[in-house]
Amino acid sequence: MRSLPSSLREALLAMTGPLCAVALAAAAVAGPKATVTSLSAEQIVARNVAARGGLEAWRRVGTMVWVGHIQSAHAPVASMPFTLEQQRPNKTRFEISALGQKSVRVFDGTQGWKLRAAQNAGRPDAQPFAAEELKFARAGEGIDGPLIDSAAKGNLVTLEGLDEIEGHTAYRLEVRLLAGERDRLWIDAKSFLDIRCDRVVDGPGPAGLPRKVVSLLYRDYKTFEGLKMPSIIETSGDTRRPPDRMVIERVLLNPPLDSWAFVNPATAHARLRAFPLPGMANPATQAR
């Protein structure tokens, strides 16, 4: 299978820790500032947590699986099935299939690997995460994102102001992660659900050049077992190209996950995973 295009690789890197984990967007959608809000950052965070299902409900989620497809004009095929498995505190496994082949990204909480499809009838090629990928994975926001239990995670949230995002008035928050990275989030002033997240995915460039930012837009919220989650995430790091779209068709909460899901995917046991997800085909044979 051809290697993933740069735009899709950036999307996958930005998704290493959904909700600001997984997808797709239109950058530069912030409009003119609206009137100053009287709510504090703490109040906005509290309302966001409540709108998404509540703190205790999210704390009860130890594992989560998303199943769906990615639509991309930059990929070998227009629609590619994916499975994203997550386990607290910060383990992820992302599988994407195209043209009968599968690519995998795995992070075990400390180390990460990228498995490319076998080339010329050879063995699958697993490479460790690059330094910047590993840095982002280690700073990942886990199953529930940076605002749920933000104080316990050591995240510092600051209210910057109000913007107009696609016709919605939204609070603009800066979230300084414990690892030192800074995300920018926009929270709908009416629903208090996340609208947009901006993440830096590149290290500092040559002197005077800005760092690369990938934007994610969250759309079409649905309720999964009492928790509000977007069913579409649009991701883009380049306004000159159409965004990629992650379409989440199913969400599984607290499924038992195979212990081999989060190890180096090139190992024999990891490639022959025998523990299928509930109601799904064996992941080891699903994409064949």
**Which CATH architecture fits 6-270?**
Clam (2.50)
Comparison of pLDDT for 268 and 224, the residue scoring more: 224
Check whether 121 has a pLDDT greater than 80: no
Check whether 40 has a pLDDT greater than 90: yes
Q: What angle do CA 114, 82, 211 make, to 5 degrees?
A: 55
Q: Contact, 240 vs 228, CB < 8 A? A: no
Give the pLDDT score at 287: 35
* Residue ranges per structural domain of the chain: 6-270
List, in order, residues 6 or more apart from 245 with CB less than 8 Å away: 23, 24, 70, 71, 72, 232, 233, 234
Phi, psi at 18, each rounded to 5°: -60, 160
Comparison of pLDDT for 97 and 219, the residue scoring more: 219
Q: For residue range 69-78, what is the model confidence (pLDDT) as tens digits?
A: 999 887 778 8
Check whether 194 has a pLDDT greater than 80: yes
Comparison of pLDDT for 34 and 210, the residue scoring more: 210
Q: Count CB-CB contacts under 10 A for residue 174.
A: 15
Whole-number average pLDDT of the chain = 79
Whole-structure pTM value: 0.78
Q: For residue range 79-117, what is the model confidence (pLDDT) as tens digits?
A: 999 999 999 989 999 999 888 788 899 999 999 999 876
Give the pLDDT score at 284: 39
Q: What angle do CA 118, 123, 125 make, to 5 degrees?
A: 65
Comparison of pLDDT for 43 and 282, the residue scoring more: 43
Check whether 181 has a pLDDT greater than 50: yes
List, in order, residues 6 or more apart from 152 with CB less than 8 Å away: none
